[in-house]
Amino acid sequence: MKRLLAVFLILPFISGCGEFSQRVKDLVINTLAIDNEMHLVGTTSLDLGGIVLPNINHEIIHPSLGKLGLLSIHGDNQVSFQLNISVLTPNLNVSDAILPNGKKVPLIGDLPTVVLPVKGTGASFYITLAKGAAVVGFALPFKNFGGELGEELGSFSVIPTFQVKDFKVAGGLFYSENPGESGLGAFIDISDLLDRAFPNTGVEPPVLVEDGDYELDYEQSVYSKDEQKASSNYLIDLNNEGRVLELY
């Protein structure tokens, strides 16, 4: 077993002060070669003020391949994942990357994507692997989150994309009036990470799309000031309430 690379990112998220700020916590991604297969292992630490995420530990599955990894929420709002990416090949069915509220996923945009369900939940794990464009991320919808705001403003997402060191990260909240379509998501551009991880490992870089050069879409994080303000104020209300979220 050979540990290849570790990258430390600061993952900004919604602050409890009514505006967006790049307040701490972090994301650690390790690429790991096991028996000539490449795995991604990561942990994000999210600071959501008084909002508490539920502890879970569920399998990431594919309809035909079965279990591909694990996603868990634990500790102080830490979201961890492990995924075998070597089994992802061009003959798999790919689809558009859509959030639970029907909006496009930032960074990924229209790129072909494998969207993997997290067993026993409404959560989804996203991965895009193409020449020059690779993104990994997750969307976590909650039962007791966002419906009030979705009824007032309709479906929208406030997921800013920002530069952190040499990486692009998109993280934030999405809303809908429908149950199970509001929650939080985080998506990371891992293109350079994978480019540096594979040379001299004996492991072939996985791709979902073989032909063409692709670019990530940095224009998908579009939202109004009113939506941003409403989302921030809503988060403050939940912080004050001390609400414990329930995964859908």
Residue 9 pLDDT more than 50?
Answer: no
- Give the pLDDT score at 7: 34
Per-residue pLDDT of 46-62, as tens digits, reads 777 678 889 999 999 99
Confidence of residue 135 (pLDDT cuts 50, 70, 90): very high
194-244 tens-digit pLDDT: 888 877 666 667 888 777 778 888 776 788 999 989 988 998 999 898 888
Q: Which of 233, 223, 216 is nearest to 157 (CA)?
A: 223
pLDDT category at 13 given cuts 50, 70, 90 is very low
Give pLDDT tens digits for 61-89.
Answer: 999 999 999 999 998 888 999 999 999 98
Q: What is the mean pLDDT of the chain?
A: 83
| CA separation for the pair 81, 57 (Å, rounded) | 10
% of the chain residues with pLDDT over 70 = 85
Q: At residue 150, does pLDDT exceed 60?
A: yes
User: How long a stretch of residues is the chain?
Assistant: 248
* Dihedral sign (CA 112, 161, 164, 183): negative
pLDDT at position 167, please?
A: 75
